[in-house]
Amino acid sequence: MIYIDGKRKYMRIGLFGISRSGKNYTIDDFNLEANKYGRSFVHLSPMDMIRDRLNGRRLKDMSDEEKRALVKKVRDQIDQIAEDHDVIVDEHYCYPVSFGGVKPENGYFDEKLPHDIWHRDYKDLEYEVVFPRFEADKYDVIAVMQIDPKIIVERCRTSEGAKYNPYITEEDAKEWQKAELLGIWHDSHKSIIEVVDPKNSGKELWKGYSSQEFEMTLRGDFFGNVMHIPDEIRTRKEGKRELME
């Protein structure tokens, strides 16, 4: 919580990153840094909150209408918590349609959320964009994990259960991370904190967050560091997203 022009404001941080990029560790370490200054952020994961509401059902067995209603309930719950708490939310922007030319069929990648298709023409890559449209407008600060692709691949291939992915390549990880960064920048037009150090990611995030919070306080800005981009490039069409590279 901070005060801007004498008014109390709770902060909302969105931390985006691909699978196995270390968001949970980063958020835990970030909160350790925040605690040193008397601050604490509620750690929220929309995907975990969705799974908690499934009651034994599978997303793959639900209609798009049911899944959209479920996502809305979770997003409404996050909004409610954010009204009187500082929060940091573990977010995904998109998932690749395939890895190394293979479409995984395990539980982790087969549990489809409602999504748009984003086709990156010059790379001939397709992503399923699961992050709800206009949700980025709610965030004061946005950060994206940008970890060495070699580390991502190693973690994917040594993970257990549904998170095990033997197909992902370094190129897949590199382009997926780029897609997360480009996608959320396009949706938000805010300055993005890039988290690159896997060993000190929480400290790196706290440093970047503190800098942006200080600037917001000086500006009396309730909406983060918004870059003013012409509306015509903020193209959103039902069924697909057209994003600038």
Q: For the segment 156-211, what is each residue's pLDDT rounded down to a tens digit?
A: 999 887 788 888 999 999 999 999 999 999 898 888 999 999 999 999 999 999 98
Q: Which domain holds residue 139?
A: 2-226
- Which tens digit of pLDDT belongs to each residue from 211-220? 888 777 665 5
The answer to whether position 12 is within a domain reads yes
How many distinct structural domains can be found in the chain? 1
CATH, residue 21: 3.40.50.300
The answer to whether position 194 is within a domain reads yes
- Which tens digit of pLDDT belongs to each residue from 24-40? 999 999 999 999 999 99
The answer to whether position 244 is within a domain reads no
- The pTM is what? 0.85
Token pair belonging to 127:
């992503």
The answer to whether position 239 is within a domain reads no
The answer to whether position 52 is within a domain reads yes
The answer to whether position 210 is within a domain reads yes
The answer to whether position 207 is within a domain reads yes
Considering the chain, what is the average pLDDT of its residues? 84
The answer to whether position 13 is within a domain reads yes
